[in-house]
Amino acid sequence: MLKKISILVCLLIIGFAGYFNIALAQDTPISPFQNSLQKTSLEMGYKPSNLLGNISTIISLILSLVGVIFLVLMIYGGINWMTAGGNEAQVKKAKSTIGQAVIGLVIVLSAYAITYFIMQSLAA
- The kind and range of the H/E element at 27 are none
Q: Total structural domains in the chain?
A: 1
C-alpha distance from residue 19 to each of 82, 83, 115 (Å): 30, 31, 19
The average pLDDT across 52-78 equals 84
Domain assignment of residue 36, yes or no: no
pLDDT at 78: 92
Q: What is the mean pLDDT of residues 28-41?
A: 56
For residues 122 and 124, give the distance between their C-alpha atoms in angstroms, rounded to a whole number: 6
Residue in 13, 9, 101, 120 with CA at minimum distance from that of residue 59: 120
Residue 90 has pLDDT above 90, yes or no: yes
User: Which residue segment(s) compose the domain that 117 sits in?
Assistant: 2-26+51-123
Q: With 90 as the cut, is the pLDDT of residue 1 above it?
A: no
Please tell me the pTM assigned to this model.
0.54
- Does the pLDDT of residue 121 top 70, yes or no? yes
Please report whether residue 45 resides in a domain: no
Write down the mean pLDDT value for the chain.
75
